Structure 1
Amino acid sequence: MEEKTLIAYYSRRGQNYVNGKITNLPVGNTEVVAKQIQAIIGGDLFYINTIKPYPVDYMETTDVAKVELRQNERPELTETVKNMDDYDTIYLGYPNWWGAFPMAVCTFLESYNFTGKTIIPFCTHEGSGMCGERDIKRLCPNAIVLPGIAIRGGVVADSDNIVQSWLKSQK
């Protein structure tokens, strides 16, 4: 039986902090990497999206994200993966917000049984580096969590070779 792969990700379009300034991104950095992964290995994409949208303004969004993190909130998501049991491997993408992934990723992880599944994280950031691996292991104790990759948001558009090398190292 062929292994099925899901690429689930949270990504922020619009105002983002990139290379030291606020920039408007038509496609969020994490979404760029998610689509690079899909182009290389295939699999299904799933966008982790919140019912209540974050503010358009980047600074307002960071304030909301800080409150969610402090209060351990679980934002409600717009949809669910209908056939999660069919997937063996989940690439999980998210930005680094205040040293953690967005709380919507917690909602996603707590919504399914990942027992026996392999979760491979990928993270975008603007200097903070990788986050979330320990939290994934805590939230999904019966999953296999492989080492992830952190890619600086300012270089995601040119990171195909980095992503490809990382994916080869996962085999």
Structure 2
Amino acid sequence: MKRIAIVIVTIGILILGGVVISMYENNHKSQSNRSSATVTKSHTNHKGKTLVVYLSRTGHTQEVAQLIHREVGGDLLRLTTAKSYPKKYQDMLATAQSEQDANARPKLRGTLPNLDDYQTIFLGYPIWWNKNPMAINTFLNHYHSLEGKTIYPFTTSGSSGLGSSVSELKKNAPEAEFGKGLPITDDQMTRAPELVKNWVKEIGF
């Protein structure tokens, strides 16, 4: 009986040892996989420090900005004007037209960041009267020079695409480089995640 008991105990110890070893190996593999995923994600952006900055009135541009930020990382900044635009669409368009006619530079709220450490800027805005809001020019003109920066415009609109906004941006940031822009119209908003992902991949992020 003693011999049988010793055999049973020995078998039990071997089985328990095998379970412990198996659990350790599985846990070690799981930790290794998580570590690799983290390292890969942290090295997805190879174009230097990135800023995603945008002005949004209806929320469409903000939605696209957040999608871009999710893909490229970096910092996210929302621009707001000191004086809010009218809520009614037609009144807003009238204000936008008046600002364009006057080549105005609407005052922005808050303190704008130092861009010295940023190499890449994703700049988003709605298209009004075929152009960017003049507050975007306020942002660009705030900086003495954007030399060494690459700007990727992204826009939202009813049907205007980028409009003539890129040429306007280039006039207000002549030292900057400009990459391919991303225009998203209202009827494309449901596909915005796909469009952003494809664009980010196309421009090398």
For the aligned pair, the TM-score class normalised by the smaller chain equals 0.7 to 0.9
Q: CA separation of 1:81/1:95 partners in 2, compared to 1, >3 Å: closer, same or farther?
A: same
Residue of 105, 108, 122 corresponding to 2:136: 105
Q: CA separation of 1:37/1:72 partners in 2, compared to 1, >3 Å: closer, same or farther?
A: same
Letter in 1 for 2:155: C
Counterpart residue number, 1:166 = 199
Counterpart residue number, 1:121 = 153
Q: Is the 8 A contact 2:157 2:184 kept in 1?
A: yes
Counterpart residue number, 2:167 = 134
Determine helix, strand or coil for the equivalent of 2:148. Answer: coil
Q: Which has the higher contact order (CA 8 A, sep 6+)?
A: 1
Unaligned ranges ≥5, structure 1: 14-27
Task: Work out whether 1:55 is the aligned partner of 2:86.
Answer: yes
Inter-partner Cα distance in structure 2 for 1:152 and 1:124: 5
The normalised TM-score by structure 1 is: 0.87
More helix by share: 2
> Residue by residue, what CA displacement relative to the aligned partner does 1:62-115 show, whole Å, maximum 9, x if unpaired?
110110011111000002332211111000001110010001001001011211
Inter-partner Cα distance in structure 2 for 1:140 and 1:80: 19
RMSD: 1.5
Determine helix, strand or coil for the equivalent of 1:115. Answer: coil
Letter in 2 for 1:57: K
Aligned-residue offset at 1:140:
1.1
Determine helix, strand or coil for the equivalent of 2:53. Answer: strand
The normalised TM-score by structure 2 is: 0.73
Counterpart residue number, 2:115 = 84
Counterpart residue number, 1:3 = 48
Q: Is the 8 A contact 1:46 1:81 kept in 2?
A: no
Q: Is the 8 A contact 1:4 1:87 kept in 2?
A: yes
Inter-partner Cα distance in structure 2 for 1:103 and 1:56: 17
More strand by share: 1
Task: Work out whether 1:29 is the aligned partner of 2:74.
Answer: no
Deviates more, 1:84-93 or 1:129-138: 129-138
Unaligned ranges ≥5, structure 2: 1-45
Determine helix, strand or coil for the equivalent of 2:62. Answer: helix
> Residue by residue, what CA displacement relative to the aligned partner does 1:40-68 show, whole Å, maximum 9, x if unpaired?
11111111110011112121111101100
Inter-partner Cα distance in structure 1 for 2:113 and 2:162: 29
Counterpart residue number, 1:16 = none
